[in-house]
Amino acid sequence: MNGQPVCSECGEPAQESTPTDWISAWGTPPGWSHLDGSSLCPVMGGNGYEPCQPEVL
């Protein structure tokens, strides 16, 4: 374990930053994104698809 947050779906590094590709009509933006600013990978949630939560390795 190195304490690095990663996308729980693809394993790429994640950062605590609002995604740059988030559209306000989708609701409150998530607090995490990939290092390139894109949303974390989608997963099925209670209201359809939503960005996954990061995990710490």
pLDDT tens profile 25-35? 988 999 999 99
Domain count, the chain: 1
Distance from C-alpha of 9 to C-alpha of 55, rounded to nearest angstrom:
9
Helix or strand holding residue 56 (H, E):
strand 54-56
Count CB atoms within 10 A of the CB of residue 42: 12
Q: Tell me which residue of 49, 43, 47 sits closest to 10, measured CA to CA.
A: 43
pLDDT tens profile 1-13? 579 999 999 999 9
Task: Show the domain range for 12.
Answer: 5-21+30-56
Q: What is the pLDDT of residue 42?
A: 96
pTM of the model: 0.88
pLDDT tens profile 42-51? 999 988 999 9
